């Protein structure tokens, strides 16, 4: 891959469903534990309770409080290679992710284990991502991209299907390679970063 021929950027990257397969892994965990067969490919995490009507809310959310499950999220294909390429190209990378108080430490551990080129100092745990100053935000949650003056890259996921990203100032991508190519090709220069 060629080096970027542009200014170095502060790129903010979500973790869940961008670097990992949280929603799919969550569904598979519940299927295995309860002998069910819900298809994980079309379930967004905001609809997961509806997908398991035979389980209580506590049973459905249990995996998110289980450190063993949290430490075993699978890595989304290509996420290591293209996140590493952004770092190698000289960009500042911050992993900006929401948290569960019980498992926040596990999230730090998961990120630094699977992406050892990311330091703990570059992991920001917050639900108010719009308050973090950066040039680019890559996220699967529309609500996280509605505010802020950064380039908004919407990572495709069942929880945002049907949302018109282009009409709302966002660029939809289907993997981290596509996000990298947008950054590499200078799409951020077309976006006004001023507040």
Q: What is the fold, at CATH topology level, of the domain defined by 10-20+75-190?
A: Rossmann fold (3.40.50)
Residues 24-48 have pLDDT tens digits of 999 999 999 999 999 988 787 778 9
Radius of gyration of the chain measured on its C-alpha atoms: 17
Residues of the chain where predicted confidence (pLDDT) is lower than 70? 1-6, 100-101, 187-195
Q: What is the pLDDT of residue 6?
A: 53
> Which residues make Cβ contacts (< 8 Å) with residue 163, sequence separation at least 6?
142, 154
pLDDT at 187: 55
Can you give the pLDDT at residue 70? 77
Q: How many helices (H) and strands (E) does the chain have?
A: 8, 6
Domain residue spans of the chain:
10-20+75-190, 22-70
Give me the pLDDT at residue 7, please: 76
pTM exceeds 0.85 for this model = yes
Per-residue confidence (pLDDT) for residue 167, from 0 to 100: 94
**Which helix H or strand E contains 178, and what residues bound it?**
helix 176-184
């Amino acid at each position: 891959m060629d080096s970027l021929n542009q200014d170095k950027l502060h790129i903010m990257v979500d973790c869940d469903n961008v670097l990992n397969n949280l929603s799919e892994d969550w569904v598979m965990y519940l299927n295995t534990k309860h002998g069910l067969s819900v298809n994980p490919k079309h379930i967004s995490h905001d609809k997961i309770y509806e997908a398991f009507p035979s389980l209580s809310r506590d049973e459905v959310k249990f995996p998110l409080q289980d450190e063993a499950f949290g430490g075993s999220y699978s890595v989304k294909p290509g996420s290591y290679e293209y996140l590493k390429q952004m770092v190698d190209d000289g960009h500042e990378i911050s992993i900006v992710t929401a948290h569960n108080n019980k498992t926040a430490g596990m999230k730090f551990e998961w990120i630094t284990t699977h992406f050892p080129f990311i330091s703990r100092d570059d992991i920001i745990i917050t639900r108010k991502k719009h308050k973090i100053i950066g040039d680019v935000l890559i996220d699967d949650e529309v609500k996280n991209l509605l505010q802020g003056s950064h380039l908004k890259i919407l990572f495709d996921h069942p929880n945002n299907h049907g949302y018109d990203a282009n009409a709302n100032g966002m660029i939809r991508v289907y993997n981290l390679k596509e996000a990298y190519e947008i950054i590499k090709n200078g799409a951020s220069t077309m976006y006004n970063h001023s507040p």
